[in-house]
């Protein structure tokens, strides 16, 4: 999700939530060919498909953090030549000046209008890639603005602490969601995560309005986030063991759904199309088998980014976007 690569925080979340989810040896970088076939440059655009120029904006779920081959400038954006924008462009027959991918790992909606500094160079303002001539725009943003990785890290820590303090699996601390309780609003009302998502929605709305201003003739697609965890928390029990309470997994899934629903609503308000990648990735979450998952756990393919799409996931997201733009 373009989520901030938070060092120890990211590692903690991945270790606590994802340890064991791989169910065995992880795929190597060159072994992620199973799953949906990716679009190729030989795919002929349909009559309804938009022509270029095509501009892709977004965070690391868009840039393809650590998905080979990595390239582009600056290196700190971790932009992949096999991310979903590249596959969409190939599927539409767009190349050269007809396609610009300016997505960058760790990007926030509030930063797209200004330079983004990375450990390995500065990415120019993503919105500057737009022009009145732009005819297609995809944008995947919002997760970092809502602080979703921090929520994942916090929930993993709270769940583990409460589980370790419980006498047994049937104790209330295990059967209740410690994370939900920690984010609950005093006196009722939306919890803290809901408020963060709502605040992120304001920033996303501003980005969509600016895209419309700069590229009024462009077809605009807001790309949602794929499924991180299964809708049925019990599907992760064998992988996660008793260390994580099932209600905490359910809470995280609920919050991810709220993030995607916010994006859907903001897209509709802006007259854009929402691309639902959560629906098409159901069953391909990080607790799925290693030949099926679209999102990596920590014990994943060598060099892959935990809690981020792998090459299979980027292909699946590309297919969802192509399906939307060809309607």
* Residue 267 and residue 208 in contact, taking contact as beta carbons nearer than 8 Å: yes
**CA–CA separation, 227 and 69 (whole Å):** 24
Q: Tell me which of 154, 162, 284, 308 is the catalytic residue.
A: 308
Closest listed residue to residue 23, CA positions, set 285, 213, 322, 246: 285
**If we measure between CA atoms, which residue out of 253, 282, 249, 278 comes closest to residue 263?**
278
Catalytic residue, chosen from 22, 60, 86, 159, is 60
Catalytic site includes residue 41: no
Does the annotation count 308 as an active-site position?
yes
- Cα separation of 249 and 237, whole Å? 10
Dihedral angle, C-alpha 231, 232, 235, 241, nearest 10 °:
100
In the chain, the N- to C-terminal Cα span, in Å, equals 26
**Strand spans (E) along the chain:** 54-58, 70-71, 79-80, 99-101, 116-118, 121-123, 136-140, 219-223, 273-275
- Cβ proximity of 87 and 81 under 8 Å: no
Dihedral through CA 155, CA 158, CA 164, CA 167, nearest 10?
-100
* Cα gap 180→258, rounded to integer Å: 14
Q: Which of 167, 322, 163 is nearest to 249 (CA)?
A: 163
Catalytic center residues: 60, 308
């Amino acid at each position: 999700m373009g989520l901030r690569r938070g060092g120890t925080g990211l590692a903690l979340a991945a270790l606590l939530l994802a340890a064991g989810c791989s169910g065995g040896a992880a795929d190597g970088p060159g072994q992620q060919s199973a799953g949906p076939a990716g679009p190729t440059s030989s795919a002929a655009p349909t009559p309804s498909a938009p022509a270029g120029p095509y501009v892709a904006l977004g965070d690391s779920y868009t840039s393809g953090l650590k998905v080979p081959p990595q390239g582009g400038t600056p290196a700190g954006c971790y932009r992949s030549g096999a991310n979903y924008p590249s596959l969409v462009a190939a599927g539409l027959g767009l190349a050269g000046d007809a396609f610009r991918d300016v997505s960058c790992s760790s990007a926030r909606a509030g930063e797209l209008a200004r330079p983004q500094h990375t450990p390995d160079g500065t990415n120019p303002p993503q919105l500057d890639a737009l022009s009145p001539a732009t005819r297609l725009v995809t944008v995947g943003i919002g997760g970092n603005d809502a602080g979703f990785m921090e929520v994942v890290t916090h929930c993993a820590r709270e769940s583990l602490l409460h589980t370790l303090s419980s006498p047994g699996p049937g104790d209330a601390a295990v059967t209740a969601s410690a994370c939900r309780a920690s984010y609950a609003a005093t006196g009722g009302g939306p919890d803290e995560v809901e408020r963060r998502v709502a605040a992120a929605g304001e920033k996303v709305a501003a980005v969509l309005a600016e895209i419309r201003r700069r590229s009024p003739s462009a077809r605009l697609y807001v790309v949602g986030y794929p499924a991180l965890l299964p809708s049925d928390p019990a599907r992760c029990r064998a992988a996660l063991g008793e260390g994580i309470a099932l209600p905490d997994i359910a809470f995280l899934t609920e919050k991810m759904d709220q993030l995607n629903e916010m994006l859907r609503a903001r897209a509709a308000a802006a007259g854009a199309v929402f691309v639902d990648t959560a629906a098409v990735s159901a069953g391909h979450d990080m607790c799925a088998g290693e030949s099926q998952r679209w999102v990596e756990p920590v014990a994943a393919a060598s060099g892959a980014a935990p809690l981020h799409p792998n090459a299979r996931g980027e292909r699946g997201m590309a297919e969802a976007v192509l399906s939307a733009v060809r309607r």
